[in-house]
Structure 1
Amino acid sequence: MHDRAQPRTTAHNCERPCTTVHNCERPRTTTHDRAQLRTTMHDRAQPRTTVHNCERPRRAVHKGSRRGGGRRAVGPPLPATMEPEEPEEPGEAAWGRRDGGELGGRGLLELAVASGVVAWATWAVVLMPGFRRVPLRLQVPYQPSGPQQVANALELLRGRTGKTVDLGSGDGRLVVEAYKQGLRPAVGYELNPWLLCLSNYRAWKAGYHGKVSFLKKDLWKVNLSDCYNVIVFLAPSVKPPLATKLLAELPDEARVVAGRFPFPSWTPASTLGQGLEQVWAYDMKEVRRAAQSRAEGSPV
């Protein structure tokens, strides 16, 4: 009777009642232990993930796919590296992106450097060739004359005759217009080869090719003793040394027309225009007399 009160256990090939986990998928339990060990069915509902020798865990089949027995299994979410990227909206700005279209601080720096190289190349190829043999203090940058400046300068030379020269003729517009007005011969002195090509093209386009001359000569080395009309559109820094050259070489009948900036030590015979369009005319006979009077210390 005492043995009947004890719980009956199933005899296995072991020394004590089998309540431990054997080499099977889940522990075997007897009837009296079912109330305490009902976790097996609960564990089956959990997704099984087995870690293999690879970079990511193998996930189970997602919903919608079936394994044997018709049971559905739900796997863990995809890793961040495997999730599909969202499509980019049309017209989205590429600033700050790392793929292809980035233009951040480094891109802006490279753009600035490239712009500087282009500007330097333009100066070295287009403008610098005319200044390589001229001292720095006598170099004059190219600045084209406006239509009103040209008109005012030629107005102060109206009715005159004789050789007309433009010192630093640039693109040749003053020489061409002087020839149209009857000032012949008309000659331009320029060192920059690119501007000389532009001047010849302008003369050809106006129908004066071969009638006007553009010479690649340094204006500081040209003899001006046969010039009667001199046009000067130069920077103010070169006006004092140029005044000395003109006084020494030009005849008394010559007239000098200065644009943009006057000769600081000369008194003009007439002027026309205002601001940057203003021009000044100097008659060399009067300029020499005034210079001689100042040298002698007597009034004009």
Structure 2
Amino acid sequence: MEDSIEVILQDYGNVFPTSRPHLVLSACTGTLLTGLYGVWSLFTMPGFRKVPSGLKVFAASSAGFKCTGFEINSILLAYARTKARWTGVPSSQANFVKKDFWKTDLSKYNNITAFLAPGAMEVLGDKLLKELPDGALVISCRFHFPYWPHQSTVGSGLDQTWAYDITAVRKAGLREVSNVVEDR
């Protein structure tokens, strides 16, 4: 005997009920998607946060520079340290620290490489002018320092980098450092 479609759907309606929500399934799906988004955002949104310092540190240390990478994200710090060990980079050549470079005195460094969002470049420029010694060199990746005369530039578009000599920037006097001291 053949059942009508209504009878069949009624019989199987209890197997896949659509009238009430699946709370556990919804919670698991939401948690999974949130976790995936979190991991994705760590590595694919560098313009809005500090880029993993390891990328620049490895390039500079392979050129013979002694480097310090600043990272405040524990996951990216662990990744950079692990990659350094895995690739055989000695800690005397490339060191990674969990510090915010905005709160660190940079006066002992002679070479700085920066890759920050455009809105942070002017503030970083003020910090570097205050703290770096004469003769220090600054490389900015993708975004330039406003008002600073560059010594050279390589690439174009998103792959462009600028090189600055802090002494030449100070002599140009195009961007004076404010004397306002802020408590943070």
CA distance in 2, matches of 1:103, 1:230: 59
Cα deviation per residue 1:245-282 (whole Å; 9 max; x = unaligned)? 00000011111111111111212111000111011111
Aligned equivalent of 1:201: 82
Say if 1:239 and 1:102 are closer, same or farther in 2 by CA, change over 3 A. Answer: farther
Q: What SS is found at the alignment partner of 1:225?
A: coil
CA distance in 2, matches of 1:122, 1:204: 28
2:54 is the counterpart of 1:172 = yes
Aligned equivalent of 2:179: none
The TM-score with structure 1 as length reference comes to 0.47
CA distance in 2, matches of 1:143, 1:207: 26
CA distance in 2, matches of 1:113, 1:272: 47
Say if 1:178 and 1:209 are closer, same or farther in 2 by CA, change over 3 A. Answer: same
Aligned equivalent of 2:182: none
CA distance in 2, matches of 1:280, 1:214: 24
Higher strand fraction (1 or 2): 2
CA distance in 2, matches of 1:242, 1:249: 11
- Equivalent pair of 2:147/2:175 in contact (CA under 8 Å): no
Please state how far the C-alpha of 1:214 moved relative to its aligned partner. Answer: 0.4
Aligned equivalent of 1:243: 125
2:97 is the counterpart of 1:215 = yes
Identity value in percent: 34
CA RMSD of aligned residues (A): 3.7
Please state how far the C-alpha of 1:289 moved relative to its aligned partner. Answer: 1.1
Aligned equivalent of 2:180: none
Higher helix fraction (1 or 2): 2
Say if 1:122 and 1:288 are closer, same or farther in 2 by CA, change over 3 A. Answer: same
- Equivalent pair of 1:260/1:279 in contact (CA under 8 Å): yes
- Structure 1 residue ranges, 4+ long, deviating more than 6 angstroms after superposition: none
CA distance in 2, matches of 1:247, 1:279: 19
Match among 54, 59, 69 for residue 188 of structure 1:
69
Match among 230, 233, 257 for residue 112 of structure 2:
230
2:171 is the counterpart of 1:289 = yes
Cα deviation per residue 1:153-210 (whole Å; 9 max; x = unaligned)? xxxxxxxxxxxxxxx4616122122111111x21100000000110011101210142
Aligned equivalent of 2:138: 256
- Equivalent pair of 1:234/1:261 in contact (CA under 8 Å): yes
| AA in 2 matched with 1:210 | S
2:184 is the counterpart of 1:269 = no
- Structure 2 unaligned regions, length at least 5: 177-184
Say if 1:294 and 1:210 are closer, same or farther in 2 by CA, change over 3 A. Answer: closer
Between Structure 1 and Structure 2, how many residues are aligned?
165
- Structure 1 unaligned regions, length at least 5: 1-76, 86-96, 128-140, 145-167, 296-300
Aligned equivalent of 1:118: 33
Task: Kindly indicate whether structure 1 or structure 2 has the higher relative contact order, using CA contacts under 8 Å at least 6 residues apart.
Answer: 2
- Equivalent pair of 1:269/1:283 in contact (CA under 8 Å): yes
Q: What SS is found at the alignment partner of 2:46?
A: coil
- Equivalent pair of 1:179/1:186 in contact (CA under 8 Å): yes
2:46 is the counterpart of 1:143 = yes
Please state how far the C-alpha of 1:118 moved relative to its aligned partner. Answer: 3.5
Aligned equivalent of 2:181: none
Say if 1:294 and 1:231 are closer, same or farther in 2 by CA, change over 3 A. Answer: closer
